Amino acid sequence: MTLIRHGIRVTPARAREGLKVAPVRPAPASEAASLGHLFLLDDRYRLLARVGEGGMGVVWRALDLDLDEIVAVKFLREDLANDPRLVAAFRREIKLGRRVTHRNVARVFEFGHTDELYFLTMEFIAGESLHAHLHRCGPRPALWVLELAAGLCRGLAAALAVGVVHGDIKPGNILMSPGRGAVITDFGIARALSEPLAREEYLGGTPHYMAPEQALHGQLSPASDVYSVGIVLFEALAGRSPWPTRDARALLELQAAGHEPALRSLAPQVRPEWLELLTACLRAEPGDRPRDVRALLLRLAALRGVL
């Protein structure tokens, strides 16, 4: 017998006699009643609580019964599972994510497929997303943002060291861990620099955070991640977007015209040194930006001395 809850098909849990399970924080009563600890995925992962959702799927906190550890399980939405491009992108997420090992990147473990359900498992990071944090706290102090920037760049530099560009840096894909600072998740549209994008391959992303070359032409490079980091850092400092619109079509028109945000007029309260650095990150042409996050790290080190 199978049940479907929140777009996830799972089977009733079977008792495992003699299994010692470490205590975990219980799921909220409302979730435990509807799904919670009563069901297993693939006879191994006990689903505990839904912790996130994106365009391609949902993420649950789960107990790995084989290893007696808490993990995160990300599911590809069932209505997308019949699209070979999206399934390929989902497989690529774990293939590329497993290459990266760094404290500022969430580890990816394995890919699973059962009953027409695709999922992957990854390290569970306790902490809220940067999106939730900024919504709760508003603009952050310059030194706080500097630490955020350093963590993001170090994690992305570790990915770049193994030939991977993330391609979807945004507040929702950054978790704020009390012990580790900023932790990058979701390599769903990441690219290997050694593997050019095939015509039929899927390259998604979030338009508001995508560099012009990525949004307009599907081109992804190390400078594209620099652009996305610049958007995130400006939002953390200024408490607002550098773009005058949230409409994706209008934003693409601005980018196609070569428009660059006028950061100084948008956030006069932000220190000029920050605005100068972020303006460089948000240049329309990739060659006018810091070439990659390693170059951006050097600029951040100089900024630390000023601050």
**Is 53:75 a contact under the CB 8 Å cutoff?**
no
Give the other-Cβ count within 10 Å of 284's Cβ: 17
CB-neighbour burial class of residue 86 (10 A; exposed 0-12, middle 13-18, buried 19+): buried
- 43, 168, 186, 292: the active-site residue: 168
Count Cβ neighbours within 10 Å for each residue of 94-118 and write b for 16 or more, e otherwise. bbbbbbbebbbbbbbbeebeeeebb
3-state SS string over 225-250?
HHHHHHHHHHHHHHCCCCCCCCCHHH
**Is 87:119 a contact under the CB 8 Å cutoff?**
no
Q: Is the dihedral of CA 70, 186, 147, 160 positive or negative?
A: positive
**Is 60:48 a contact under the CB 8 Å cutoff?**
yes
Cα distances (Å, whole numbers) of residue 176 to 37, 52, 306: 26, 14, 25
**Is 144:133 a contact under the CB 8 Å cutoff?**
no
83 among known catalytic residues: no
**Closest listed residue to residue 121, CA positions, set 47, 55, 173, 213:** 47
Catalytic residue numbers?
168
